[in-house]
Structure 1
């Protein structure tokens, strides 16, 4: 029996209304939880890139990519294991300002976690941390006893280690049309 593992699914598409809903519906119909979702521009003008993280078997990853590619606006979809990608997440932590000055340990936590202070005001300061999910969760656990006023984390952003020929494929497609 196939084992589940984390896959990053990258989707290159035209930027059309409703596509996100249809793509998420593909996962919903199969009762697959999306761990992380990020949509942004890509290296190709007017082409969006979805980065979706799921925990499934490889056969399911292959089937889902096939279903996604059936969407008219989708140009190409890929799936990769964590070993095949370079990935990061970013998190912001909002903490009471007096802790920055009254609790020396907070300054040590920031330094040791390779985080940075992005803003300081009279009432709060904000720490930014970029890294792997486990690094962000470790920082969260360290800051939790001091009181986190707000916390947010981005979805995964990633690039593949292997070359994805999407740019070449698009240029060829444009030459044909």
Structure 2
């Protein structure tokens, strides 16, 4: 049986207007929900990288990758399980400063979650944590009863563990 699991799809494209719409339409037609999407430049000029996280079966993702590669302006598509990828997400948390000023609770949270403080104001503190989604969500649950005021999480970014895929594809 082909079970559903989390995949990260990396799509290398030319920087073309409207391409994101065509990519999203394929996901819609195949009834695949996008959990996370990130787009940005690569180390090769004029080539964009889309990083998209989905949960589906291997067969469905293989078919999606094939259809994506048929799109004009799409250069190459790769997909990975979490074990085949080095990946991270980043989150920002805003909490009352009094929480972080509390010697016991504040220091414990700083140490346990490897927090980077970005802003300290009289009434609030903003800090950043980088990690996997479950770690980020765990910290959010710890902070809720302490007065978490705001929370924002980025989309996933990742690199293949085994290949220099873009360079291999381009023959470099």
* TM-score, length of structure 1 as denominator length: 0.91
Distance 2:78 2:149 in 1: 38
Distance 1:71 1:10 in 2: 14
Give matches, 1:2-17, under 5 Å.
2-17=2-17
Distance 1:170 1:102 in 2: 54
Gaps of 5+ in 2: none
Q: Describe the superposition over 1:97-154 as per-residue Cα deviations: whole angstroms up to 9, x where unpaired.
A: 2322247313311221111211111221111000111110111111110122111101
Does residue 129 in structure 1 map to residue 129 in structure 2? yes
Distance 1:147 1:28 in 2: 38
Does residue 27 in structure 1 map to residue 27 in structure 2? yes
Q: Which residue of 2 aligns with 1:96?
A: 96
Q: Describe the superposition over 1:46-97 as per-residue Cα deviations: whole angstroms up to 9, x where unpaired.
A: 1110000111111111110111111111110001111111111000001122
* TM-score, length of structure 2 as denominator length: 0.94
Q: What is the SS of the residue equivalent to 1:31?
A: coil
Q: What is the SS of the residue equivalent to 1:45?
A: coil
Bigger mean CA offset, 96-105 vs 4-13:
96-105
Q: Which residue of 2 aligns with 1:43?
A: 43
Q: What is the SS of the residue equivalent to 2:59?
A: helix
CA displacement at 1:5 relative to structure 2: 0.8
2:8–2:51 CA contact under 8 A, matched in 1: yes
2:7–2:55 CA contact under 8 A, matched in 1: yes
Bigger mean CA offset, 87-96 vs 112-121:
112-121
What is the number of equivalent residue pairs in this alignment? Answer: 172
Distance 1:168 1:54 in 2: 25
Q: What is the SS of the residue equivalent to 1:71?
A: coil
